[in-house]
Amino acid sequence: MKILVIGSGGREHALVWKLKQSPSVTQIYCAPGNAGIGLDCTNVDIAATDFPKLIKFVQKEKIDLTVVGPEVPLVQGIVDEFQKVGLRIFGPTKKAAELEGSKKFAKEIMRKANVPTADFRVFTNSAEAISYIEEREEGDRFVIKADGLAAGKGVTVCDSNEEARDAIRRMLLHKEFGEAGQRIVIEDRLVGEEASLLAFVDGNTIVPLEAAQDHKAAHDGDTGPNTGGMGAYSPTPIVNDEIIDTVVEKILVPMVHEMNKEGRPFRGCLYAGLMLTNQGPKVLEFNVRLGDPETQAVLMRLKSDLAQIMYACAEGKLDQIEPLEWDPRPSLCVVMASAGYPGDYEKGLPIRGLDDAALVPDTKVFHAGTRRVGEQIVNDGGRVLGVTAIGDTISDAKLRAYQAVKCIRWDGAWCRKDISDKANRY
């Protein structure tokens, strides 16, 4: 089987690495890929949203399966374009991807499906949004979300009404997120622990993966600004089998049914971002793709043949696959970032020590924002590397991952030092 992976981040590197282990896979390409992906497969210099060029490449190379990593091409309808010309592709159609592309759509369909999630209201007018907040009870706390895609930055979790008013004005009046923020969702703020549960869904059958916990805040102890994710580990002790069963029964099954009812059958990876509250798990958001950096940690533990699973999913035949097999050992991914991230940062700085890091046992350095310049690998994004390790215990995995992190250097490189420490709290 020949596979094309679309995207250029750590998630895509992990996908390439895992797919390559499938005995049925003869060749893998990645468009556009990055420096590390280029060491594990062949990079193709086509942007993730250049659908005509991607289709031409897939037809010419007779690719059997295309796997889409990021949300942007999905929300723009890459799956529909591929399917129009009879090409097999892993991911949801444009209508199904709206679950991530519009928070309003996601919240409304959750309400219809009776899926537990925070109460919400939708606004386009800032004065109305502000009076809604002011009329609520003193002490109520809110989360303000831009409706459309904003690269993970369109959410403000507010500690006071003043912050909420400020976020409303920034989005609706000052157009901080452009079109994406011209409509906002105001949600009640939930309290609890967060976890991510990803599932392969083929429109009917749901195959949940092992749960993971992301670390969204930039600094240790979950402080600092929100990022794309500074690290993850799997499994997480807060999500036991009973909680997974509850999430499948109360969240995933009703969502899959409701999407079918609305004529938007979901096929691909459905990612439920959860808050585990006193009243049980509630949905913070749905994503329509694998998570980054959850994928790096989760795929390191998957023993089953990923290419066969994704192929079956794209064909609507997930009911025919064997139950997933997992390495019981925990895994963990530490993200190394550029100085300044999640704000502005300098690119093009040479990265040293990757060869030494590669010698640390049971560890794999997945590349996210890297680029090759001649013989050198340089940083090319905010999140640069996802140093991922597996160990007999979570502390073993942590020790290994940070041992590899220590080998790697570039000007200003930093990471959180406490990835997975939350596991000890439960």
Closest CA to 201 of 283, 259, 262: 259
Least Cβ distance, residue 104 to ligand AMP (angstroms): 12
**Which one, 291 or 382, has the nearer CB to ligand GLY?**
291
Asked if 292 touches ligand GLY (CB under 6 A), the answer is yes
Min dist. Cβ of residue 42 to ligand AMP (A) = 33
CA dist 279 and 297 (Å) reads 28
Type and span of the H or E element at 244: helix 241-247
Tell me the residue length of the chain.
Answer: 426
- Segment interacting with ligand AMP, rule: CB under 6 A, options 87-95, 182-190, 326-334, 401-409: 182-190
One-letter amino acid at 291 equals: G
Of positions 9, 229, 268, 281, contacts ligand GLY by CB under 6 A = 229
Whether 62 contacts 2, CB under 8 Å: yes
What distance in Å separates the CA atoms of residue 403 and residue 357, rounded to the nearest whole number?
Answer: 8
Containing 201, the helix (H) or strand (E) segment is strand 193-202
Give the pair of three-digit tokens for residue 77.
């309808």
> Which of ligand AMP, ligand GLY, none does residue 143 bind (CB under 5 to 8 Å by kind)?
ligand AMP
Strands 363-367 and 383-390: antiparallel
Contact flag: residue 143 with ligand AMP (CB under 6 A): yes
**Least Å from the CB of residue 71 to ligand GLY:** 8
Residue 305 near which of ligand AMP, ligand GLY, none (CB within 5-8 Å, type-dependent): none
Residue-wise DSSP of 320-355: GSPPP-B-SS-EEEEEEE-TTTTS-----PBPB-HH
**Residue 337: CB minimum distance to ligand GLY, A:** 14
Site map (CB under 6 A) of ligand GLY, residues 112-141, x = contact = ------------------------------
Q: CB under 6 A: which stretch of 18-26, 288-296, 318-326, 383-391 binds ligand GLY?
A: 288-296
Tell me 423's DSSP state.
G
Q: How many CA atoms lie within 13 A of 248 on its CB side?
A: 18
Q: Decide if residue 291 touches ligand GLY (CB under 6 A).
A: yes
94: its two tokens: 């444009």
Q: Which of 16, 72, 190, 365 binds ligand AMP (CB under 6 A)?
A: 190
Q: Which is nearer to ligand GLY, 38 or 228 (CB)?
A: 228
Q: Given the DSSP bridges, would you call strands 363-367 and 2-7 parallel, antiparallel or unpaired?
A: unpaired
CA angle 172, 185, 99 (to 5 degrees): 120
18 C-beta neighbours (distance < 10 Å), count = 20
| Binding partner of residue 291 among ligand GLY, ligand AMP, none, CB cut-off 5 to 8 Å per kind | ligand GLY
Interaction partner, residue 229 (ligand AMP, ligand GLY, none; CB < 5-8 Å by kind): ligand GLY
Would you state the torsion angle of the CA atoms of residues 24, 315, 92, 270, taken in this order, to the nearest 10 degrees?
A: -70
157 binds ligand AMP (CB under 6 A): yes
Partner whose footprint covers residue 141, from ligand AMP, ligand GLY, none (CB < 5 to 8 Å by kind): none
Only segment of 161-169, 188-196, 372-380, 397-405 that touches ligand AMP (CB under 6 A): 188-196
Q: 95: closest CA among 246, 209, 261?
A: 261
Question: Which 166-225 residues touch ligand GLY, going by CB under 6 A?
Answer: 214
Other C-beta atoms closer than 10 Å to the C-beta of 321 total 18
292 binds, among ligand AMP, ligand GLY, none (CB under 5 to 8 A by kind): ligand GLY
d(CA 19, CA 17): 6
Using CB under 6 A, count the residues that bind ligand AMP: 13
In the complex, the smallest distance separating the C-beta of residue 147 from ligand AMP, rounded to whole angstroms, is 11
Instruction: Return the H-helix or E-strand segment holding 202.
Output: strand 193-202
Nearer to ligand AMP, 194 or 202 (CB): 194
Type and span of the H or E element at 108:
helix 103-112
Q: Which of residues 261-290 bind ligand AMP (CB under 6 A)?
A: 273, 284-285
Minimal distance, residue 423 CB to ligand GLY, in Å: 17
Secondary structure class of 275 (helix, strand, coil): strand
Q: And the tokens for 223? A: 């402080």
Smallest gap from residue 328 Cβ to ligand AMP (A): 27
Element (H, E) at 153: none
Among residue numbers 77 through 136, which ones bind ligand AMP (CB under 6 A)? 118
Compute the least distance from the CB of residue 189 to ligand AMP, in Å: 4
Q: How far is the CB of 220 from ligand GLY (least distance, A)?
A: 18
* Positions in the binding site for ligand AMP (CB under 6 A): 118, 143, 145, 155, 157, 187, 189-190, 194, 216, 273, 284-285
* Positions in the binding site for ligand GLY (CB under 6 A): 152, 214, 229, 287, 291-292, 294
